[in-house]
A and B are shown apart, each in its own frame.
Chain A
Amino acid sequence: MADHPAVAAPLAAPLAARSGTGAAVLVGAAVASAYGRGTEALLAGMLSGQPAFSAVTRFDVTARRTSVAATMAGSPTLLTEVTRAVRDACDDACLSPPDRARSPLFLAIHGHPAIARVPAADRHLFSTDAFAAAVAERGGLANSGIRCYTSACVAASTAIADAAAMISRGRVDRVIVAGGYLVESDQFALFDAGRTLAADGRVRPFSAGRRGLLLGDGVGAVVIESAERAKARRAPVLARLAGWGRTGDAYHPCQPRPDGHGLARAIGAALQRAGIAAGDLGYVNAHGSGTKQSDLAEASALRLALGDAAATIPVSSTKSLHGQALEASGVLELIVTLLAVGKGMLPVNAGFLGSDDECRLNLVLGESLAATPEYAMSLNAAFGGANTALVIGRS
């Protein structure tokens, strides 16, 4: 594959081209994870510093190399959980039924969860858009403008960036972005086959001795609205969605570009849109999958994009706690970032065994860190070399 191809400079486009005139704000959030349903359960889990991984009982894992994931109790279904998150996020945003009925849904999922096991003659009924439409209908949202993103681990973060861009340019005044992944047998088998699951049952982002990722349930929804509209209806603002960036590595089908240049461009674009310098960031919620190549590339990207500030900005990957939620990662981790900033406590980068010289960062280690950042950033990267960066600012 390509050998470090030349790419455009991080700040190639002028700010005026990269932003609309409006501001986008987060006015509602809801979540479910292995720590339970609700933002309070997630925050408590994050601040406990105790990873949520346990033996998988949802399906048979006896033939797999790893038998651990972060799963919710019971037998949750994706449609029910995503619909619940959408409704709860709309409640959190104090949206009336007519407001909801005017709001489009951008949903991030792997695909229709039933399509692989229905009779061939019925498959045409199981498109990803059909699933999204079912969520929108059950959640009381608009029946048009629905999008279903399936871009792997940047699906939800791309949807959030796209929603923010549309709101910034006045195309819409509100979007509900949701994402969902519940650990199931097929993806577990695939990740096992790809030898990416951590055989030692822990996720150790940026650490020496890291051995891979572990899957985790993640369902989340956020309400993104124009600041003007939120102010007009006196909605409580959780945070500003201050900046976003999305780029590609142009490097390999499934490996990240080792020098992190693609992700660095996404970070640069997000900082540029937010109108801040690297040193203004007070926290980075890293993609931090816990795999050798991905963590190395991300650490390189952070040093490249943030310069000297990379040595001091607190960084943690909360995948070490809640696991890898695939297509839902972007919304789950944005909510983690939102909660951390709101609480003034930055979650720990769990599982750390020792320094990896190639992943030098100011990791939050040992226990949660008290801090009140004005700005925080959430990063995601995916197969294909897709990268996203989202920056939130205190309201």
Chain B
Amino acid sequence: MTHLAPATVIDLPALHTAAAAAGLTVLASACWPETDTDAEVKPLAGFIESTFSPLLAQTADRVLSRRPEPAAPDRVTAIVIATAFGDVTSATHVARAVDLGQRVGPLLFFQSVPNAVAGYLAARWRLTGPIACVGGLGAGLDIAAALIEDADADEALVVWVDLGVTEDDRDRAAAIVVTSTR
């Protein structure tokens, strides 16, 4: 099993180290925020109220565009999302509306699971591998390694994202594209 520090303190060097420990070679990496220009997450069409899916998509787009060379057309790429709390902004928005007896907007239904933004990325980047969402980054790396070993994927996009759950936290994400060293 891959052991990692709590997700809120993950940085890219730690992520590279953890990936190597899971038997994975990192082809590209990215995080958010990376520079001072990463002040606000860009909106993502079709996703509302929460930065969860836009942040995940923006970080994934960033890492996929940094691949040293494009993936071969027949290469199968899995998507593994690791998030300790999920889209807590959307969840609290829905809970508040329900408790007040208000209707919930239909777009919130479509973004109610992390699979939706995974599907957006899969369509945009032609990623035909399995989609898995788990609570921990260590588990996510282990799943990526196992999917490649099991030949259901040639490589994996692993994205960790967690929104700031308290007033002092800020939204953070990191992503890597990996293949197996085994």
- A interface list, Cβ under 8 A from B: 1-2, 5-8, 12-14, 17-18, 60, 63, 110-112, 115-117, 120-121, 123-124, 126-129, 132, 144-145, 147-152, 154-155, 158, 162, 165-166, 169, 171, 185-187, 189-196, 245-254, 262, 265, 269, 382-386, 388
Q: How far is the CA of A158 from the CA of B131 in the complex (A)?
A: 9
Q: How far is the CA of A128 from the CA of B99 in the complex (A)?
A: 23
Contact string against A for B residues 84-102, beta-carbon threshold 8 Å, 1 for contact and 0 otherwise = 1110100110110111010
Known pairs A127-B85, A190-B104. 6 more at Cβ < 8 A? A115-B86, A165-B146, A189-B104, A246-B147, A247-B128, A248-B131
User: CB-CB < 8 A to B124: which residues of A?
Assistant: 2
Q: Are B122 and A385 in contact (CB under 8 A)?
A: yes
- Looking at the assembled complex, report how far the CB atom of A152 sits from the nearest CB atom of chain B, in whole angstroms: 4
Q: Which of A110, A128, A151, A166 has the most CB of B within 10 A?
A: A151
Q: Are B134 and A148 in contact (CB under 8 A)?
A: yes
Q: Can you sample 16 A-B contacts with CB below 8 Å? A: A111-B86, A116-B92, A117-B99, A120-B166, A123-B166, A127-B84, A132-B135, A145-B1, A149-B133, A247-B129, A249-B119, A251-B119, A254-B116, A383-B110, A383-B113, A384-B115
B105 at the interface (CB under 8 A from A): yes
Q: Are B84 and A111 in contact (CB under 8 A)?
A: no
Residue of B nearest to A327 (CB): B113
Q: How far is the CA of A254 from the CA of B79 in the complex (A)?
A: 15
Q: How far is the CA of A249 from the CA of B125 in the complex (A)?
A: 12
User: CB-CB < 8 A to A7: which residues of B?
Assistant: 128
User: CB-CB < 8 A to A252: which residues of B?
Assistant: 119, 123
Q: A185-B98, A190-B109, A193-B106 are in contact. Are A147 and B126 (CB under 8 A)?
A: no
- B interface list, Cβ under 8 A from A: 1, 46, 73-74, 76, 78-79, 83-86, 88, 91-92, 94-95, 97-99, 101, 103-106, 108-110, 112-120, 122-136, 139, 143, 146-147, 149-152, 165-167
Give the top 8 A-B pairs by smallest Cβ distance, nearest first.
A384-B115, A194-B109, A384-B119, A246-B130, A116-B95, A128-B135, A13-B151, A148-B135
- Looking at the assembled complex, report how far the CB atom of B26 sits from the nearest CB atom of chain A, in whole angstroms: 21
Q: Are A129 and B104 in contact (CB under 8 A)?
A: no
Residue of A nearest to B136 (CB): A129
Q: Are A248 and B79 in contact (CB under 8 A)?
A: yes
User: CB-CB < 8 A to A190: which residues of B?
Assistant: 94, 104, 108-109, 112
User: CB-CB < 8 A to B116: which residues of A?
Assistant: 253-254, 383-384
Q: How far is the CA of A254 from the CA of B110 in the complex (A)?
A: 7
Residue of B nearest to A190 (CB): B109
Q: Which of B94, B128, B136 touches A148 (beta carbons < 8 Å)?
A: B136
User: CB-CB < 8 A to B130: which residues of A?
Assistant: 158, 246-248, 386, 388
User: CB-CB < 8 A to A254: which residues of B?
Assistant: 110, 116, 119
Q: A13-B151, A121-B166, A384-B118 are in contact. Are A195 and B131 (CB under 8 A)?
A: no
User: CB-CB < 8 A to A60: which residues of B?
Assistant: 101
Q: How far is the CA of A382 from the CA of B98 in the complex (A)?
A: 24
Q: How far is the CA of A5 from the CA of B119 in the complex (A)?
A: 13
Q: Which of B79, B84, B117, B126 touches A5 (beta carbons < 8 Å)?
A: B126
User: CB-CB < 8 A to B94: which residues of A?
Assistant: 116, 186, 189-190
User: CB-CB < 8 A to A117: which residues of B?
Assistant: 92, 95, 99
Q: Which of A6, A121, A123, A171 has the most CB of B within 10 A?
A: A123
Q: How far is the CA of A385 from the CA of B1 in the complex (A)?
A: 28
Q: Are A186 and B133 in contact (CB under 8 A)?
A: no
- Looking at the assembled complex, report how far the CB atom of B12 sits from the nearest CB atom of chain A, in whole angstroms: 22
